[in-house]
Structure formats: C-alpha cells, structure tokens
Amino acid sequence: MLQLSVLREQTDLVVAGLNKKNYKNATQEVQTILDLDSQRRSLQARHDEEQARANNLAREIGTLMKSGRKAEAEALKAETAALKIVTKNLLEELSEIEKNLQNVLVKLPNLPHSSVPEGKTPEDNEIVYQHGTIPELPATALPHWELIKKYDIIDFELGNKITGAGFPVYKKQGARLQRALINFFLDEALQAGFTEVQPPILVNEASGYGTGQLPDKDGQMYHATADNYYLIPTAEVPITNLYRDEIIALDKLPVRNAGYTPCFRREAGSWGADVRGLNRLHQFDKVEIVRIEEPEKSYAALEEMSQYIQSLLQKLELPYRVLRLCGGDMGFTSALTYDMEVFSAAQNRWLEVSSCSNFETYQANRLNLRYKPGSGKTQLLHTLNGSALALPRIVAALLENNQTEEGINLPAVLHSYCGFDKIT
C-alpha cells in the first residue's frame, strides 16, 4: 500500500507512476484520497483539541473539589459531559472517514521503478538477456500433452474425474520427476544461503491483505468460506506474512527464506495451445524464495535473485530469456519485475517459469513490517520474492526439448534425484 505521506508530498510523481501502470482515473483517485486525508486530519485535530479541553476541565474540577468549591465544580461537570458527546461524535466521523480512506487507498497499485519501460501488453516488455541454444526438433516431435500420454506419466483425465479440469495426476516417472525437481530446487536454495520453511497452504484474510492479493485478486483465489481461509496462490503469501507486525533487528537482516508449497489459482485462460496441458493449471507445485531487505540494498538483492534463478535454468540446460516487464504488464504490488521464460521447442514458444519482483515498501506498509536503523525511528523494509521455480512449464520444456526416439533424456543434474536418466 502506498504511504499517505508520499501521496501528499509527491503527488505528481504518484500520478505519473499510476499512469505508467495504465491505472484508470489516476488523477481523480489520488485527489479523492488527498481530500479524505485532509478531512481526516482536520477531524483528528478538532478531536484532539476537544479532548484536551475535557482533560483540562477534569483537572480543574479536581482542584475545585479539593478546595471545597463544589458548586463551581458541578457547573464544570455539565460542560465536561457536553464535551464527551462532542468527542464521541467526532470519533465516529473520524472512524467513517478512515474506513473510506482505507477502502480507496488499498485499490491503488504500487508505483513502478524508474527503469520500468512504458507499455501496455507483454509485447512491450524489454528483453534484457537471453541464454542457451534453442533445440531443433524433427517434424515428428510431439508437444508435452502428447508426450505425457505416450509415456503415461501425467493423467489429466484422472485429475478431472477426482477434482476437475486443471488438476492433473502425476504418476510413475512423472511423479518421481516432480519430487526430484522440488528437492533439487530446495537443495539449491539451501546452498545459496536461504533458510527453508514449510508454511501453511491456507491463510487468513489478514495474510492475503498483507501481501496485496486481497482485495485485488479476491475472485482469483480459492476461498474456504466456512472458516474464511484462502488457499494460497503462491508461497510468497504465508512466508512474507511470517514477519507481519514485526520490527526486525538490523543484525538479523537480510531475511532470506525458501519454501515449497502447492499453489492454487482459480484464474481461467482462453482455450487453445497457450493454456493446454501443463501451460496453465489450477493446482501446481512451486518453490519460492523471499527476501526482506534494507531499502538501500533491495535492488542489488533483486539482481542477485535474478542471477540465482538463472543459475537453476542453466543447470537444467534449458534455453531461457529474461524480460523486464513494462508498466502495463506488471503485477499490482510490484515496483520492478523480471520474468524468466524458457523456450519450449515443440510448441515453438516462450513459457514464463518465474517472476522475480521488488515490492519496495508496498507490502511492508500493509504488513507493518519495519526495522530500526541505528538510533533513528523505525522505517519500513523492502520485500522481494521470486519463483525458483514453478514446475509445470519447466516439466513441459524438459519433456519437449529433450525428446528422442528412445525416450526423453533428463539433464545430468537431475539423475541422482530421479534415480533414472531417461523417461521411457
């Protein structure tokens, strides 16, 4: 959530940033917030003045009573009673204004970093790096949704029977490959200095609000209405919320956590090859990395995270590219996002497998997540996260890019994890 002080002191910068993210009615929305904030501060000042008068009168009444001037004290008590009604009414007005202010403020997305390119669609994203050689497959090569049938390793029909579309069943070498990738990603994270955590996959409303999924993505999350819990769309939500309402000691920074969870998303895509097979699922596995940083160190941390994620793709021997997302294609809470895409040879297209983002103070402001630098006042921290990695499209690319007449060859780094080097 944007800080009110930023909206007041850097209004033009805020409006420009919102426009860069293609946020509609930016000027009008910001002015609405500033007007509500002005009303709030005026009411707060009036309340404080009246409360101060009431406190002074109470002290004066006490003095009069002690000196035996009871009649004068009783006269002042009537005035105090009237002041109580005034302050009560002001508090009610103030509460309503604050509620309205909060409802408008939480709808504003984060502001983009100055390096974010202009643009509205994925076609406007900036390619900042590309690595690896795109494999050339024979004309008989199959897309992964045909390969999984051929080798009987993932079953969408079974998943549809027991749950519904977008919930596949992994079996045989497919199940073992899933487990191998999860263990590989977690082991790599530990070696890179991340602390492993295993969080709940159901979160409460406060957690969804804290990282910005609520209210922005309310309809895209699976909601257990009886308990008002939400199935997580990513481990970012519970892992970052571990530090909600915390003041982290300076010597405990940076915080670096990694965790594996299944992820759940109700989002529906259009029909076609772009969402076929493993390209888009309602339930999928992912290892997430989360960092909490001092503000001046967060962008160096983002570059480190990007390099780390790229190292995983290199070890998996997958051709990939790194995109800097344009303003219109960025997430609601992000200030700067790098997307990593792998090339899927049988589909002849790039598939997003990771997003790596710096949220600056946006999430920390919602989470009340702070630190105390030296002897100064507490300040908001910066939060970052990245997929390291999401499994479905990684599996799709591994299957398609490495297919042969004899089977599907796996990268050497997975052999010991799988217990086999080829899917047959």
- For residue 380, what are the CA distances in angstroms to 1, 3, 189, 207, 400? 12, 10, 26, 18, 45
Q: Report whether 384 contacts 291 (CB < 8 A).
A: yes
Q: 325, 265, 317: which is closest to 109 by C-alpha?
A: 325
Cβ-contact 30, 2 below 8 angstroms: no
Q: Which two tokens stand for residue 89?
A: 């009414």
pLDDT in tens, the chain (424 residues): 999 999 999 999 999 999 999 999 999 999 999 999 999 999 999 999 988 888 888 888 888 888 888 888 877 888 888 888 988 999 999 999 999 999 999 999 999 999 999 999 999 999 999 999 999 999 999 999 999 999 999 999 999 999 999 999 999 999 999 999 999 999 999 999 999 999 999 999 999 999 999 998 888 999 999 999 999 999 999 999 999 999 999 999 999 999 999 999 997 544 455 678 999 999 999 999 999 999 999 999 999 999 999 999 999 999 999 999 999 999 999 999 999 999 999 999 999 999 999 999 999 999 999 999 877 899 999 999 999 999 999 999 999 999 999 999 999 999 999 999 999 9
Kindly report the pTM of this predicted structure. 0.91
Work out the number of other CB atoms within 10 angstroms of the CB of residue 408.
Answer: 21
User: What are 29's two structure tokens?
Assistant: 């929305």
What domains are defined for the chain?
4-105 (1.10.287.40), 122-423 (3.30.930.10)
Buried-exposed string 344-370: b where 16+ CB fall within 10 A, e elsewhere: bbbbeebbebbbbbbbbbbbbbbbebb
Report pLDDT for 402.
97
Show binding-site residues for ATP.
265-267, 352-355
Which residues have a Cβ under 8 Å from the Cβ of 344 and sit 6 or more positions away?
Answer: 144, 350, 351, 393, 396, 397, 400, 401
Whole-number Å distance between alpha carbons of 59 and 41: 27
Burial class (CB in 10 A: 0-12, 13-18, 19+), 404: exposed
67-77 exposure pattern, b = at least 16 Cβ within 10 A, e = fewer: eeeeeebeebe
pLDDT score at 184: 98
- Binding-site residues, in ranges, read 234, 265-267, 288, 352-355, 385
Residues placed in the known binding site for L-serine: 234, 265, 288, 385
Residue given tokens 């699976």 in the structure block: 222
Residue 215: asked if its preceding bond is cis (omega within 30°), the reply is yes
- The pLDDT, as a whole number, for residue 17 is 97
- Residue-level pLDDT at 268: 52
In angstroms, the CA 321 to CA 210 distance is 31
Residue-level pLDDT at 63: 87
Q: What is the pLDDT of residue 270?
A: 45
User: Running DSSP on this structure, what letter comes out for residue 234?
Assistant: S
pLDDT at 381: 98
pLDDT, position 366? 97
User: Looking at 325-371, which runs of residues are DSSP E strands?
Assistant: 336-344, 349-358, 370-371
331 in Cβ contact with 356 (< 8 Å) = no
pLDDT of residue 53: 86
Are the C-beta atoms of residues 295 and 381 closer than 8 Å to each other?
A: yes
Torsion sign across C-alpha atoms 260, 264, 267, 269: positive
